[in-house]
Amino acid sequence: MPELHHQLIVELGDRSYPILIGAGLLGSQDLTGYVAGSKVMIVTNNTVAPLYLERARACFPGKQVDTVVLPDGEQYKDWQTLNRIFDGLLERTHTRNTTLVALGGGVVGDMTGFAAACYQRGVPFIQIPTTLLSQVDSSVGGKTGINHPLGKNMIGAFYQPQVVLIDTDTLTTLPPREVAAGLAEVIKYGLIREPAFLDWLEASMDRLTALEPAAVAEAVYRSCACKADVVAQDERESGLRATLNLGHTFGHAIETFAGYGQWLHGEAVGTGMILAADLSVREGMIDRTDYERVVRLIRAAGLPERPPETMTPADFRRLMAVDKKNVDGRLRLVLLRSLGEATVTDTASDAHLTSTLDAFCGQRPA
């Protein structure tokens, strides 16, 4: 019987839920205790299904387990594909006491969670994340939704799962580019509130990119602990939770500009954190030595350091204008007060923002 290495709780009163973390949990962990009715609908995609669907089914002995297999890709995180989940549920006459199960990365997780929030005005759901990014970030905290052609994650709901089951063994089949994308969100936690974790990441990045099990388990646990703590304090993002968006305002602009699926979310966040760090220097918050530390870490993770070559400062400004953090038309950005402390501000100097965008857009240095 595989070991349950860690259990964390996301403390949200009567909506609290556990995060179960371990190697080999998928298929061996009985999740029926989190299922109220007799039916389960597993939502996954055509990449993950051949790898893990059978093991996921085994988590629900005695239940009727139906499946919806979606096409794979960020470009399918849209209304049409979401509707396929509702089609599947209605075709199989799933009622209000069904439980949806998201098996896959953040795309499947966000869409399944949103489907659960909407179907018959809300049914329970379970997260089984299988990418590093979804294990350290998107499966925890209840942000669900889909993209709009004009902006990332623009349509959605806060809706918490019943349980998150993280089997770190599933990461062994993940392509290296996806591992790097997940590491961007791991680095984010160190930068915004965990200086000791940042030191550990600098010392451990080689082990993480090589997916050494002990290092991965540690990174997943510490990231989930950080996220669970932030979500418990500020579920609806009225303050603290917005710091989890370090690099995301620039990053979402990159993702939308490039076309969904061209730049991975984590890649865009990695580059976005470099831009945020550069602006933090210009705002007098951190110094160039700190900035270089951020760049070195992003580079060591194997992430891109600059936006797409054809992207202009005007593109950034146009796309950042629809960021969800903005209030009354004012751009709000997450910046670094120090390495290990983030702040959300709408008073960054526009001239400094121009300097950052000019420094990163256009011609590459020779």
Query: Does 127 help bind ligand NAD (rule: CB under 6 A)?
Result: no
- Encoding tokens for residue 346? 């709408």
Nearer to ligand NAD (CB atom), residue 29 or residue 138: 138
265 or 282: whose CB is closer to ligand NAD? Answer: 265
Contact positions vs ligand GLY (CB under 6 A): 137, 141, 143, 241, 244-245
Residues in binding contact with ligand NAD, number by CB under 6 A: 29
- Report helix, strand or coil for 352: helix
> 6: left (phi > 0), else alpha (psi -120 to 50), else beta?
beta
Burial class, 328, CB count within 10 angstroms (exposed 0-12 / middle 13-18 / buried 19+): exposed
Residue 133 partner contact from ligand GLY, ligand NAD, none using kind-dependent CB cut-offs of 5 to 8 Å? ligand NAD
At 156 the three-state DSSP class reads: strand
| Residue 75 C-beta: closest distance to ligand GLY, Å | 20
* Contact call for residues 363 and 312 (beta carbons, < 8 A): no
Each residue 20-59 as x (binds ligand NAD by CB under 6 A) or -, in order, gives -------------------------x-xx--x--------
Select the binding partner of residue 241 from ligand GLY, ligand NAD, none (C-beta < 5 to 8 A, by kind). ligand GLY
β-bridge pairing 39-45 and 64-70: parallel
Separate counts of helices (H) and strands (E) for the chain: 12, 11
Q: Rule CB under 6 A: is residue 138 a binding residue for ligand NAD?
A: yes
In the complex, minimum distance from the CB of residue 141 to ligand GLY, in angstroms, rounded to a whole number: 4
3 contacts 22 by C-beta, under 8 angstroms:
yes
Q: Which is nearer to ligand NAD, 104 or 304 (CB)?
A: 104
- Residues 6 or more apart whose CB falls under 8 angstroms from that of 243 comprise 192, 193, 230, 334, 342, 343, 344
Stretch in the footprint of ligand NAD (CB under 6 A) among 24-32, 105-113, 115-123, 159-167: 105-113
- Going 251 to 253 to 256 to 262, the CA torsion angle's sign is negative
Q: Which residue's CB is nearer to ligand NAD, number 26 or number 286?
A: 26
Q: By CB under 6 A, what part of segment 186-215 binds ligand NAD?
A: none
Active site residues: 121, 143, 185, 227, 237, 241, 245, 248, 252, 265
Q: Taking the complex as a whole, how short is the minimal distance between the CB of residue 99 and ligand NAD, in angstroms?
A: 19
Cα dist. 284→83, 247, 287, 348 in Å?
48, 18, 7, 10
- Per rule CB under 6 A, is residue 74 in the interface with ligand NAD? yes
